[in-house]
Amino acid sequence: MTDIKVYGSGYGHGVGLSQFGSYGRALAGQNYVQILQAYYQGVFLQQYPDDPTVRVWLGERNLDGCQDVAVRSGTKALMRNLATDGTVVLGPGAYRVHYLAHRNLYRLTNLSEGRAVGSYRGPIRFVPTSGGLLGYDYRYYRGFLAVQTVNSRVCVINQLPMELYIQGVVANEMFSSWPLEALKGQAIAARSYARVTQRDGCFDVYPDSRDQVYGGASSETSVTNEAVAATARICAVYNGSPIIGAFHSASGGYTEDTSFVFNTSYALGAAPYLKALRDVDSEGRSFEGAAYANAPWASWSGALDADGSPQLEVGAIAAVTVLGRSPSGRATKIKVTGTQGEKVISGEYDIRRNLKITGLRLTDGSVYPAGILPSARVSFFGGACAQS
């Protein structure tokens, strides 16, 4: 730890929809259309006729590892061999898939009964019957679960309709106790993002912050599912296409222009609907502040961890000087001075991930022991730092 004090506001990259800001706006009486058009400038809403498939990467193991899939009690499933289209009926229980690399076969074992089911060329897919659910890694999922090898790994991929996927996202990205209008806005943002996020190969999205957090059927709530159903197949659209619906936890009162966060060669870097927004009401009160959401991330403070950034190769950090800021107040370029040298870091993403903070205290008084900078909307004081 150093005597360099760190003060900031917000949590996350700051681009697009602020979740705590949405909460505050809903409390202020805004509906989901107003919320979305505030955070995504120049968009309109469009309902699509189809419900496309989404493929979610759930997990991976080494080639000599195993993947376990469960058929929920009271239901049945089919194991489909995708190489031959042959099927095997599976009763309730736990099943283990072991890939036999030397034979290029997928061996299936019924763990509940302690017997081998068979070995298959594969890949293999578990298909629930009568609307049942399948289990993987202590969660239950709608749709299919496929086990297949990808880049020398044994992977599990959940394939399901878009609307069912969004049910498993909204419940993990917003509190179900929040106003329905905020939840509807989150559903549309998540759906818009998923519509345009289709990777080459065997999957489209990760189940975590690399894309958006997805917890399957186990995480769904009746309220968040209501928000998904009320906005079914609706996306935010710009110039006739669904937007990349970026969102973050809290903006600290000012969202960020995407060009300061994401490389312009990436689609988000040139998105004209992701501009900086002063996230306040007509009287200048932050929608995340005490007047509305009272977000814990509205402001925070802590101390810089001098030894928390060995990757910078500057030794113990003695000073941090801000060399540039975006119009939203976020640091875009800093100089880090240590006992063994100094380094200039450019870009909000790299700044956040290269500096560690300890004794993090939030607006509500809660304390976090350590972690990366919550936001680049930050200032440094003390130590060898000039005020910055």
Q: Same structural domain for residues 171 and 262?
A: yes
Helix, strand, or coil (residue 321): strand
Q: Same structural domain for residues 252 and 190?
A: yes
Average pLDDT for 192-200: 89
Residue pLDDT, tens place only, 227-242? 999 999 999 999 999 9
Q: Same structural domain for residues 261 and 297?
A: no
- pLDDT for 386 beyond 60: no
Token pair for 172: 């993990």
Which domain does 103 fall in, by range? 53-161
- pLDDT for 325 beyond 80: yes
CA 382-387-388 angle, 5° bins: 115
Q: Where do the H-state alpha helices sit in 125-238?
A: 162-173, 180-196, 222-230
The last residue of one of the domains, among 134, 161, 188, is 161
List the beta bridge partners of residue 381: 5
Assign 3 a pLDDT band (cuts: 50, 70, 90). confident
| 186 assigned to some structural domain | yes
Residue pLDDT, tens place only, 200-209? 788 999 999 9
Q: Same structural domain for residues 143 and 79?
A: yes
Residue pLDDT, tens place only, 148-181? 998 889 999 999 999 999 999 999 999 999 999 9
- Comparing C-alpha atoms, which of 306, 299, 274 is closest to residue 379? 299
Assign 385 a pLDDT band (cuts: 50, 70, 90). low
Count of residues making up the chain:
388
Q: Same structural domain for residues 178 and 83?
A: no
What are the distances in angstroms from CA 94 to CA 77, 82, 117? 12, 21, 12
Amino acid 266: pLDDT? 60
How far is 134 from 144, CA to CA, in rounded Å? 8
Amino acid 257: pLDDT? 95
* Mean predicted lDDT score pLDDT of the chain: 93
| 278 assigned to some structural domain | no
Q: Same structural domain for residues 129 and 29?
A: no
Q: Same structural domain for residues 117 and 47?
A: no
CA atoms within 13 A on the CB side of 95: 30
Amino acid 269: pLDDT? 63
Q: Same structural domain for residues 100 and 135?
A: yes
- Count of structural domains, the chain: 3
| Helical (H) or strand (E) element with 350 | helix 348-354
Q: Same structural domain for residues 40 and 135?
A: no
Q: Same structural domain for residues 111 and 132?
A: yes
The last residue of one of the domains, among 237, 270, 303, is 270
How far is 179 from 22, CA to CA, in rounded Å? 9
| 134 assigned to some structural domain | yes
Q: Same structural domain for residues 220 and 132?
A: no
Q: Same structural domain for residues 64 and 45?
A: no
Q: Where do the H-state alpha helices sit in the chain?
A: 19-27, 32-39, 162-173, 180-196, 222-230, 348-354
Residue 175 and residue 192 in contact, taking contact as beta carbons nearer than 8 Å: no
Token pair for 240: 């006739």
